[in-house]
Amino acid sequence: MSFEPDWINTPPQLTTDPAPRRKGRLGSLALALVVGLIGGFIGGAFADGVTDGSTGTGGGPVVTAAKVDQAKVGNTSVAKAAAVISPSVVTVDSLADDGESIGTGIIISSDGDVVTNAHVVEDSTEVRVVLNGETEPRKARVLAADAGNDLALVRIENVTGLTAATFADPASLAVGDQVVAVGYALDLDGGASVTSGIISALNRTMQNEDGALNALIQTDAAISSGNSGGPLINMDGHVVGINTAVYRSTDTSAANNIGFAISVGEVKRVIEVLRTEATGEKRSQGYLGIALSDRTDGGVGAVVSEVASDSPAERAGLKVRDIILQVNDQPITGQGALIGIIRDATPDDEVEIVLERDGERITVKATLVARPSE
């Protein structure tokens, strides 16, 4: 499935129109909450009937529950999970020539490393981070960004002793598991918002202008503008993904509660790449040497439409009209999934490709080379 993603890094205007308006980069709009005062003066009879709640014509006493033990507040599984991740969730405020972008980030080291979405800090001229429980922004800078995987590494300046998030084992994810999304939805005053749902699907692929996001988690936990870069967590408070986009209804399709998060396995891999790039070492992407198209007969897989001369694909024996079904044990449901896998590989990686040719299933191996300069 291919569609234009709705990035969720900036707050929409509160309006009866369900289509959100993004702050700053698409026009600065004030966020106004209008409270209507209902009632007013009802008459002297009402005023005369007001008492101290103990005796008189105003009725019986006002009953108040017993004093709450604060140690027992927030005892649900969602509240406990949110409490675990809360110290590691920050607001990311990115200034650019075309406006301001508000998103969320996750602390990944005690000395100030934060991971967020690349689209949150895209083209930034200044980045500021607000820690949980603080009111003043701290200066930060973008160390490295990967637009293709929509992840960026940000460093808060001159800070120590932060609480780093814990990342879940990628193998622990399962469809139907309960998850919680945490982030600064709508950039509202106060702490981060918390919403809960389940993992609706795994290994989704979403194509965008930078290629394709692969190995995505689909969730029905409510994700709103401002949640971009924030964590999707399990019930232990461990990060299972980073919220990145939602799918909204269009004139031709309906969508309800369909959000996407970059899965923890991808996040951990890309973080290491970004840390390497932050030292000045550039990473070369893998190159197979094929052009692709989607199947039109209702089946799954990616169809080879062109094979480059003297490429790893040609040397491996791939041919036009081959249908690629699997790469390194990862199913290929469309061309986006294959684009993401090869892009994330490195030169000299060997990939095992399962394909269908003239009704026969064949397995071939190809050794990738560095992607040619454009």
Catalytic residues: 119, 150, 228
Gap between the Cα atoms of 36 and 81, Å rounded: 36
Cα distances (angstroms) measured from residue 302 to each of 71, 115, 214, 371: 55, 32, 14, 20
Picking from 166, 147, 156, the residue whose alpha carbon sits closest to that of residue 268 is 166
Burial degree of 193 (CB within 10 A; 0-12, 13-18, 19+)? buried
CA distances from 87 to 18, 191, 194, 223 (A): 32, 11, 14, 20
- Residue 98: CA count within 13 A, CB half-sphere: 7
Q: Residue 224: is it exposed, middle or buried by C-beta count within 10 angstroms (0-12/13-18/19+)? A: buried
By the 8 A CB rule, do 290 and 313 touch? yes
For the CA atoms of 21, 145, 190, 221, the dihedral, rounded to the nearest 10 degrees, stands at 70
Beta strand 211-219 with 350-357 is: unpaired
Rounded CA-CA distance 58/60 in Å is 7
